[in-house]
Chains A and B, each alone.
Chain A
Amino acid sequence: MVETPVNGGRRRWLAPGESGLAWGGLALVGVLLLAVTLSAWWSLRAWNQSALHDAGLEADRVAGLLATAAEASLSGDSPTALRRLATDAAMGGWRVEVSLDGVGLIASGTPGELGSVDIPASWTDLGDLGVLGGADPMRPVRKRAFRVPGRGTGVVAVTPPAVSATAGEPAIAIRAGSLAAAAIGLVALLFVYRTLRSRLRGMASIGDALVLLAHGEQRTDVLVVDEGFGEAGAAWNALLADRRVLRAQAAAERVDQALAGGGHDSRDLREAFDALRDGVMLVDDAGTILETNGAAGVLLRKERGVIVGSTVLESLGEQAADLLAGIGAGEGHARAAVDLENEPGSEKGVLRVGIVPLRNGARARALVRIEDVTQLRHAEEGRNHFLAQATHELRTPLTNIRLYVEQAIEEGDEDPQLREQAFNVIGQESRRLERIVGDMLSVAELEAGTLAIRRGDVRLESLLEQLENDYRAQAENKEILLRFDLPPRLPVISGDQDRLGLVLHNLMGNALKYTPAGGEVVVLASADDEGTVRIAVRDTGIGIAPDQFERVFERFARAEDDRVRHVTGTGLGLALAREVARAHGGEIEIESEIDTGSTFTLVLPGAAERSMAA
């Protein structure tokens, strides 16, 4: 079924949409014509009134003159002069009548109206009456009384000539002019209307089509307008045709994408791509990246738009491009680690790139998977370093123990002093082994997330006394002055004695390790009124740069300072110490200055208070 185009083919006096405008225009014309007519009528009326007014005034003046003339003329015996004046006035179009009270008409401008009249010596005298019927200036007839002393009174009646404007030529001209103006206006309006009618219909039709479109009408054959509506209509129809083509193209693309995606909507695929933590790329035969996901953009520090369209060589480097070339040569799946270049202000990253061939893709020939293995690499390096250091740390006390055991066995019976010294060394090295093993176990617990605190009462005095006993000999051997600056009495606190011992041993071990011969290590302890316990280990060692403060707490961290490269250690001590401190709700604080020394302080807020409360 073919729909009738919007407004097309319908012949109506007024097209839809234009009717309001047209009727409005006609109404306006009507109002204008009415206004012109009213204006003409009003002007005519005003002109007429003005003419009447002027005529009335003139009649008053003429009546006054004739009354004076009548008084003068009738003072004598003959009214001839008066009658001549009336006749003269009649010749100018005036109508003049002079009558005497009780006598009648004695003079008139109308020929034949006046018969033979004798004027008596005296007639009725009505007194001094003045103006009669001349007060209204709009009335054309004027009467004026006069009085002849000693004889009587009379009246002069004057009618001016042709006082009605409605009958004159000016009135006709005005009427004709008004009608002509109205007619010309009406014709002009009809001309303009007929001229614009086609265009108005076109615009109205397009407006109707837009309204239909806004209400969801999508059928093009309903939305087209009559081609006869001019350029605007043709342009609108052309736009509709373009829209139909674009919609068809979009639909075709959606179908293509859906087919290429195995029946899934492409937006779902894009969403799924972006939900992956690993970067993913689809690559064609030429190594051009066809599609990628958000993770790839983050890992490569590039916008998705920049990656898509670039080559693997440009985005991932030569190594990945070589891998891709190997895929093309039939070498099968490939994986490789690619080190990201360091950028100023960014952190080093290690990416692992894997390439999987796609045999049946429409355009894509390979899928590139990018994993961020930086943390994994870091952990592997740390574990390797830890194993190497732990091996070294274990071997040293074990060697000492073996040597002193052999010495005690061989020479102990003969030299009791040597035997006692050997047993002391064996005891110290055994405790050192115990601490190393304890550290390793703690690391394992930390890695497994099972590092637990077993709280109990901890006697700080005995803990610090044990610390002094364990390190006194080591300090003396290294010619370091070890001093414990403690208050007379320290509180019993709540905590895990073994873990806190581990913390203090690590702080003390580091202080002795990094303090040269002749230096000093001081242990200070205090407890404030709020129950916060602070145990500080202050040394006069090499010191730490402020930018390394956080790094020393990293697990497996090794100092980048050339002065301590020869110093061995697992790199776990301070990391463990801080974890233990935090597990107690506390912290390890650092104060340090290069070549002056460092102070590591174990802060345990409220530890003493909890113990006392318990």
Chain B
Amino acid sequence: MEIVEERQGAVTVVRPKGQIGEAEATILRQRLRDVLERSLGRFVLDAADIPYADSTGLELLLDVTDELSGSGRVLKLCAATDTLREALKLTGIGDRFEHFADVQTGVRSFL
């Protein structure tokens, strides 16, 4: 799985490319933990290129936002595809995340 990292100011934008299954979840989980550690939690997940996430992928997202919640934060999901949004909604975990229409809005939320 290709994961691109960008910096917008002090905020790290993590952009995974491709669906999140079991194999991808392991890689992405490690990367997000690294970013969380490095950036003091100043990061957003650009979900524009995630066409689909299976149960393992959704569990990963939930784990990350749970980890963040201990410090008053939640995972910021930017530009999530309709499929991903629907999956989050159907599983009833959509409200565990902050949703932004695009990356810029997500990044500005740190101001």
B11 within 8 A of A: yes
| Cross-chain contact of A550 among B6, B9, B72 (Cβ < 8 A) | B6
The answer on a CB contact under 8 Å between A346 and B38 is yes
A372 within 8 A of B: yes
| Cross-chain contact of A299 among B38, B40, B107, B111 (Cβ < 8 A) | B40
Taking CB atoms, residues of chain B closer than 8 Å to A345 are 38
Closest to B5 in A: A550
A to B contact number (C-beta, < 8 Å): 82
- Docked Cα-Cα span, A294 to B108, in Å, equals 23
The answer on a CB contact under 8 Å between B72 and A274 is yes
Taking CB atoms, residues of chain B closer than 8 Å to A346 are 37-38, 40
The answer on a CB contact under 8 Å between B72 and A553 is no
| Cross-chain contact of A347 among B6, B40, B101, B111 (Cβ < 8 A) | B40
The answer on a CB contact under 8 Å between B9 and A278 is no
Per-residue interface assignment for chain A, residues 270 to 299, with 1 indicating a CB less than 8 Å from any chain B CB and 0 otherwise: 000011111000000000000001110111
Given A274-B72, A294-B70, also A347-B39 (CB < 8 A) = yes
The answer on a CB contact under 8 Å between B37 and A295 is no
- On chain B, the number of residues with a Cβ less than 8 Å from chain A's Cβ atoms is 27
- Docked Cα-Cα span, A345 to B39, in Å, equals 10
Per-residue interface assignment for chain B, residues 76 to 106, with 1 indicating a CB less than 8 Å from any chain A CB and 0 otherwise: 0000000000000000000000000110110
The answer on a CB contact under 8 Å between A277 and B73 is yes
CB proximity of A295 to chain B, nearest CB, Å: 4
The answer on a CB contact under 8 Å between A375 and B9 is yes
CB proximity of B61 to chain A, nearest CB, Å: 19
The answer on a CB contact under 8 Å between B72 and A447 is no
CB proximity of B97 to chain A, nearest CB, Å: 15
Taking CB atoms, residues of chain B closer than 8 Å to A375 are 9-11, 42, 107, 110-111
Binds B, one of A60-68, A355-363, A376-384: A376-384
CB proximity of A211 to chain B, nearest CB, Å: 39
A216 within 8 A of B: no
CB proximity of B43 to chain A, nearest CB, Å: 10
Per-residue interface assignment for chain B, residues 53 to 75, with 1 indicating a CB less than 8 Å from any chain A CB and 0 otherwise: 00000000000000001111100
The answer on a CB contact under 8 Å between A374 and B40 is yes
CB proximity of B102 to chain A, nearest CB, Å: 7
Q: Which of A278, A349, A374 has the most CB of B within 10 A?
A: A374
Q: Which of A295, A297, A375, A376 has the most CB of B within 10 A?
A: A375
Q: Which of B42, B71, B102 has the most CB of A within 10 A?
A: B71
B21 within 8 A of A: no
A330 within 8 A of B: no
The answer on a CB contact under 8 Å between B7 and A554 is yes
The answer on a CB contact under 8 Å between B70 and A274 is yes
Closest to A378 in B: B9
- Docked Cα-Cα span, A375 to B76, in Å, equals 15
B26 within 8 A of A: no
Closest to B6 in A: A550
- Docked Cα-Cα span, A345 to B38, in Å, equals 7
- Docked Cα-Cα span, A299 to B36, in Å, equals 11
Taking CB atoms, residues of chain A closer than 8 Å to B18 are none
The answer on a CB contact under 8 Å between A555 and B73 is no
| Cross-chain contact of A349 among B10, B71, B72 (Cβ < 8 A) | B10
Q: Which residues of chain B (11-54) have a CB below 8 Å from chain A?
A: 11-12, 37-42
- Docked Cα-Cα span, A345 to B6, in Å, equals 16
- Docked Cα-Cα span, A275 to B10, in Å, equals 22
- Docked Cα-Cα span, A301 to B38, in Å, equals 10
Q: Which of A295, A297, A553, A579 has the most CB of B within 10 A?
A: A295
The answer on a CB contact under 8 Å between B40 and A372 is yes
Taking CB atoms, residues of chain A closer than 8 Å to B7 are 550-551, 554
A446 within 8 A of B: yes
Taking CB atoms, residues of chain A closer than 8 Å to B11 are 375
- Docked Cα-Cα span, A284 to B70, in Å, equals 24
Per-residue interface assignment for chain A, residues 294 to 318, with 1 indicating a CB less than 8 Å from any chain B CB and 0 otherwise: 1101110100000000000000000
Taking CB atoms, residues of chain B closer than 8 Å to A276 are 72
For this complex, 16 residue pairs linking A to B, each with C-beta atoms less than 8 Å apart, are A274-B72, A277-B71, A293-B71, A293-B72, A298-B41, A298-B73, A345-B38, A346-B37, A347-B39, A372-B41, A374-B42, A446-B104, A447-B104, A447-B108, A449-B101, A449-B104
Knowing that A374-B42, A376-B110, A553-B6 touch, tell me 4 more A-B residue pairs with CB under 8 angstroms. A274-B70, A298-B40, A345-B38, A348-B10
